[in-house]
Chains A and B, each alone.
Chain A
Amino acid sequence: MIAVVFNYATPSALESGRDRALLGLTGDGRRPVRMHGKVRRNLFLLRFALRALGELIWSGDSWAPFLDPIITVHPDRLLFEAFNGDQSAYALVTLDMDLFELEGELQPGTTNIDFTAWLWGALGELRTSRETRLRIGPEGLDLRTELAGGRFEPRVELPESWFRGFLELQGAMAMAGTRLSVRPVDLLSAIRFLRYSKARMSPRAMRYELEPDQPARLVLEPWEHVVPLEGAGHGYAEPRTIRVWGRRRLRLIEPLLPFADGIDVYLKGRGLPHFYAVKLPDITFVLGLSGWSGRSWTQEASFSLLAGRPKAVDPTRLEASARLLAERFHLQEAGLAAELGIEPSEAGRLLERLVRSGRALYDVERRVFRGRELLHEPLDEARIFPPDPRLEAAERILEEGRLQVELCEPQETRRQRRLPSPDGRITRELIYRDWRVRGRVAGRQTEIVVGQLGRILFGTCECTFFQENLLQKGPCEHMLALYEAAVPGLQDPPSSARAGPEAGA
């Protein structure tokens, strides 16, 4: 268990008069941030988004404890994050700063805010007819009510598995995968179908079926009910099916969908987390579903193993990356690589490591890493990610030399794109390269496909563990051993080539 103590000056509250309202969110006094602003527009959407966040916090099937929502104030965005007690759902609410007319100085940073069911109920009183201000700070509401409710220091004890789940889900957001842009009404159709049709037996998954040159479609099991996702292009040249779980929690975004402009669905692979970015004017609500609740998700080593053993990183560079992220607020791999004078792949590893240790988050919409310290004190990574028997077994296989790599070859997908450059827009042929590795590991035929970011995308093995679980509980020891033997030494050839008129020049 990890104990976290917050220091709140007053409870968060909504003060609502006849013409004015003030939503005061009290931050942890030990990590002060400040953001005061008048809400310019879309107040009712803000109300719905914050209430959906609250519903997610208490949506677990158990009374398991959870962390108060984490709020990150950056000059361009305001981010709220929450992860529920049974580790099944994660939310990231991103508000554009344009939504507010800022008052006074902005103090960027990350803190936790007091968010109770009482406040959740009070949020229903936000009205567009009242001039509404949002105040985030350690002081809570203004001086007039400073003492109402009094200072309090709640303490919550969370299991390591909760943090593991949170960080793994966060890490999954940065993984490569499939993105579908779907209409809100299509997702709503699926949610309503599930509302009226209860499946009392498995299979209770949903499948995204991606046929070449056709929009994707969503299939609800066990009825095999098909929801066509109109206009959801995917670009796959071969049929592909991605099966995911956790659909019951999709209901958490139901109140937002009637007002949404669109939804981006991010699929990371079979049985892996899936994300739904609901786009509202000035607001994006990202719902992440782990597909599991409670122990199954985090007691078994899950998809963090898809990247093999945690890569050793240079601690000095890691610290430098964290500092840079804190200064710049957000960075991409290329930006960090340029700043530190390192390869983009190493920059990617550094950023992934920061996410894994709770010091950064991945903004899936803008595709940048943002600085965010999860807790006041740094998390002990060794405690959050304890030794895993599969990794131990893989290491034994490697030590004993019971492994033979038979094939290690790149598979290329090429696409032409026009890219901005200092000399104007140029046409390049981008090469997306996955590595196919095959070998015989401890007497079993094993094959893996490793994506550009060095993660196992999929694979097969003859062992019982794989046969029984596929990749739902992460790769087996044989895949891990094969990965460790073949992948770290891979050389990355150029990832784009000249194309179009420039090709002949």
Chain B
Amino acid sequence: MEERLRKMKPAELERQVKSLLVEPIDDRELRARLEELAGHFGFSGLTSFWGPRLFQRNRLLFRPLILARFGTHQWRGGWKWSPVRWSPELESWLRTADAADELELTRRLLEWRLLDRSGWNHRKAQPLFRQELRARIRPELTPGQRGHELRKLDSFLLALDEETALELYRQDPRAAAPFILKHMPWIYGKPVLWEDLFRQAVEGKDEDFAWKLYRRQVDYPRWEKDALELCRTISAPDRLLEALEQRHPASARGNDMGTGMLRLLEQRGREVLPYVFRHLRDVWKPWLGRGSYGKLLELARQREWLDLWSALLRVCADPGEFNREVRGLAENRSLTEQEVMLRLLSLAGISREWNGAGFGIAQVHLLEEATALALYERSPTLLRGPFRTHLQISPWGPGYPKLVRLLLQKEDEELLEFLASRYLAFPSPPVEVGHLADHYARLKDAGAFARRAAGVLGRVPAYLLFNYHEVIRKNRLARLLFERSAEDYLEDPRAVADLIEGSEIHVQALGYRVLGLADPRASSLAVEHLALLLGTLLRPLHRPTRVLALRALERAASTDLEVARRVLRKARQAMALPDKRYPKEKLLGLIGAILGRFPDLRGPCEQPMVYRAS
């Protein structure tokens, strides 16, 4: 069917649609057969034909089909498409839909009509849209009706001009304000503030709308002039901040706002700092040109505004500048210890972050090795604490070989654990990985391996290991911690807890493997972590990981009747899951093993049946 549809010529498709519409079939069958034809990409081009007819026939039933397949351009074969001309039949359809308050359909039909009139030229269609809008929004409408009319013209093609916006606003400020803001024209060149509308909104005490309009349309020189004027006229700091916030442009439009901020700071000093902090991202980043970043930094230094200085370095500096400042402070012997610590502390943390729609990104400045060494020498606590985030290693970066050597000398286990947790994911490990592997191998002999190694693995972030087998083959540290030490982890119960609660799935899998070992310690630990282990029966897990978890559960269930009962109950529930790759045969094996060990738990249909010859 799909092949036949794909090969269908435009004329053939049109013929089929037309014949279907005159066939004496009921509405539901017609919809089903049209849905089949709708798979053809030329189907939507015939909207002008099937749309009005289906709408008239049963608009409730056909509305989803009409809206889903609505099209204004007809396929003429090959790559040829042409717009369908507006016709009296479409005009009548529009009138009916409009009268029935079919908001979405009316909007689409209005777009079609107005674009057709303008020769499908969006720019030429703008005045027609505005004309239509003025004709529809009449003073006698109730607020609810006016809302409906506005939604019928809520088209992305509509760009208002000041005159139309003013007319709309005069009639119903509450309904018009969001509509105007949504349909303001794209600004190609210098933005122009709609002064009359702005004045009207201010006079009407509609401050919210007035300042939104201002923020969207104000140009940079006007903003700077207004902001400086505010600094001169408003003495109360709170009111000044509020007024500045009200006027802050929605977009810097390529202007470096740093210059304006510098002037504000020069005039009012620390009073405007909260405003400047909130908009530091509008100060140009160094790679877009220096802008006023340098001058702002200089001002902060001169006036000893530590908070502004540190915020500028965190948010606006490039990594080199950030590292220079940190290193300079770490090596500074002229300032007091307390002052150095305070300054360093204020530089730590995230520079910028974006959160939304399912993920977030945070940016931090990475510490170069020389900086990290200097900082460690000055204050190991700072590097272990707030600056630890700034120590990140990539397979392409230089890494921290000297720092690792120093940490090994100093036996700074906390930082070593952190760095090792990053290094063990490298498939092409640098030399320091060997040193780390030697260090952890030595700990085995000293009896301190379990806790430390689990500390490393517990710090591995989720999804860091995406090429486990390659890493295991090439990285000695990973091989030691993941593959060659399972039994050693049993020495410390807290180490096992760290493994099964790890963020990385391979770490969790190692934990399950440890708990599944044929060792009495494994069994008792498995019982201790039964709540987490039971969860693995229902969690989404890859097959190999689940098999390890099932083995751990079997160990736990082998110890005690009550534990076995709990495991059995959950295992029976898990049999009902529709997971495609769930190793149900292994799950059945677990159930069988429990029932074999504890016959009291068998149900009536699970009793062994012995057949004898009669």
Enumerate chain A interface residues (CB-CB to B < 8 A): 1, 11, 15, 17-18, 44, 58-63, 85, 116-118, 120-121, 124-129, 144-155, 159, 183-186, 188-189, 192-193, 195-196, 202, 254-255, 257-259, 299, 386-393, 464, 467-468
Contact = CB atoms under 8 A, between A and B. Distances in A.
A480 B413 CA distance: 70
Contacts of B540: 192, 195, 254
Contact of A116 (B208, B362, B413, B495): B362
Contacts of B143: 386-387, 392
B74 interface: no
Contacts of A117: 353, 355, 359-362
B461 A153 contact: no
B274 A145 contact: no
Interface stretch (B392-400, B528-536, B552-560, B593-601): B528-536
B88 interface: no
Contacts of A392: 142-145
A159 B539 CA distance: 37
Contact of A58 (B60, B144, B346, B360): B360
Contacts of A257: 538
| Central interface residue in B348, B501, B532, B539, by most chain A CB within 10 Å | B501
A150 B346 contact: yes
A184 B538 contact: yes
Given A117-B355, A389-B142, A202 B386 contact: no
Given A124-B462, A147-B345, A467-B60, A188 B414 contact: no
A464 B245 CA distance: 48
B208 A1 contact: yes
A224 to B, nearest CB: 15
A478 B353 CA distance: 50
B576 interface: yes
B455 A11 contact: no
A148 B356 contact: no
B311 interface: yes
B314 interface: yes
A495 B261 CA distance: 67
A125 B577 contact: no
25 contacts: A1-B208, A11-B349, A15-B385, A18-B413, A58-B355, A117-B355, A117-B359, A117-B360, A118-B360, A125-B459, A125-B503, A127-B458, A129-B501, A145-B385, A147-B342, A148-B386, A159-B178, A184-B538, A196-B580, A259-B534, A386-B147, A386-B175, A389-B145, A393-B144, A467-B60
Contacts of B495: 129
B604 interface: no
Q: Which of A59, A125, A146 has the most CB of B within 10 A?
A: A125
Given A116-B355, A125-B459, A196-B580, 14 more contacts: A11-B349, A85-B356, A117-B359, A121-B461, A127-B458, A147-B346, A153-B277, A183-B573, A185-B574, A189-B576, A195-B540, A388-B144, A389-B145, A392-B143
B277 A152 contact: yes
B494 interface: yes
B321 interface: no
B69 to A, nearest CB: 13
Contact of A129 (B385, B497, B576, B578): B497
A18 B385 CA distance: 12
Contacts of B314: 150
Interface centre among B311, B359, B503 (most CB of A within 10 A): B503
A97 to B, nearest CB: 21
Interface in B480-505: 494-495, 497-498, 501, 503
Contact of A185 (B360, B462, B531, B576): B576
A254 to B, nearest CB: 8
Given A185-B576, A388-B144, A149 B414 contact: no
B578 A189 contact: yes
A248 to B, nearest CB: 13
B598 to A, nearest CB: 22
B308 to A, nearest CB: 10
B175 to A, nearest CB: 8
A153 B278 contact: yes
Given A389-B145, A389-B148, A392-B142, A150 B357 contact: no
A387 B498 CA distance: 56
A154 B245 CA distance: 12
A150 B64 CA distance: 52
Given A145-B386, A183-B573, A189-B576, A124 B494 contact: no
B531 to A, nearest CB: 7
Contacts of B539: 255, 258
B538 A59 contact: no
Interface string B343-372: 001101110010111111110000000000
A84 to B, nearest CB: 10
B310 A58 contact: no
B357 A62 contact: yes
B60 A468 contact: yes
A116 B178 CA distance: 29
Interface string B164-188: 0000000000110010000000000
A320 to B, nearest CB: 31
B541 to A, nearest CB: 10
B521 to A, nearest CB: 16
B377 interface: no
Contacts of A121: 461-462
Contacts of B212: 1
Contact of B501 (A1, A128, A152, A468): A128
Contacts of B385: 15, 144-145
B486 to A, nearest CB: 18
Contacts of A189: 576-578
Ranked nearest first, the 10 interchain pairs of A and B with the lowest CB-CB distance are A117-B360, A389-B144, A149-B349, A258-B538, A258-B535, A124-B503, A129-B494, A185-B573, A148-B386, A148-B348
Given A11-B349, A145-B386, A151-B277, A259 B461 contact: no
A145 B384 CA distance: 12
B278 A155 contact: yes
A258 B536 contact: yes
Contact of A153 (B274, B307, B349): B274
B188 to A, nearest CB: 24
Contact of B174 (A192, A386, A464): A386
B279 to A, nearest CB: 10
Interface string B439-457: 0000000000000000100
A401 to B, nearest CB: 19
Contacts of B458: 125, 127
B535 A259 contact: yes
B242 to A, nearest CB: 10
A202 B100 CA distance: 25
Given A145-B386, A185-B538, A259-B535, A196 B579 contact: yes
